Amino acid sequence: MLKMGKLTDYATVIMNFLAQNPGEVHAASELANVVGISAQTALKVLKTLSKAGLLQSQRGTKGGYQLTRPAQHISMADILQAMEGPIGLTECGSSPGACVRESQCSVKTNWQRISQAVHEALAKVSLADMAAPPSQPIYFVKSAPDLTHAAVSA
Binding-site ranges for a second copy (CB under 8 A): 1-4, 6, 9, 12-13, 16, 36, 76, 80, 84-92, 94, 100-101, 105-107, 109-111, 113-114, 116-118, 120-122, 124-125, 129-131, 133-134, 136-145, 147-148, 150-151, 154
Sign of the four-CA dihedral 62, 65, 66, 69? positive
Angstrom CA distances, 86 to 19, 63, 132, stand at 23, 30, 26
Name which of 7 and 128 has its Cβ closer to DNA: 7
Q: Which residues inside 3-42 make contact with ligand FES, applying CB under 6 A?
A: 9, 13
> Which residues, 6 or more positions from 2, have their beta carbon under 8 angstroms from its beta carbon?
89
Q: What type of residue sits at position 124?
A: K
Q: Which of 18, 59, 57 is nearest to 35 (CA)?
A: 18
Name which of 66 and 94 has its Cβ closer to ligand FES: 94
Residue 40 binding target from DNA, a second copy, ligand FES, none, CB below 5 to 8 Å by type:
DNA
Partnered with residue 26 across adjacent β-strands are: 65
Q: What is the DSSP string of 17-38?
A: HHHHSTT--B-HHHHHHHHTS-
Residues of the shown chain interacting with DNA in the complex, contacts defined by CB under 7 A: 1, 3, 5-8, 10, 27-29, 37-38, 40-41, 43-44, 46-47, 50-51, 57-65, 84
Q: Does 92 bind ligand FES (CB under 6 A)?
A: yes
Residue 149 binding target from DNA, ligand FES, a second copy, none, CB below 5 to 8 Å by type:
none
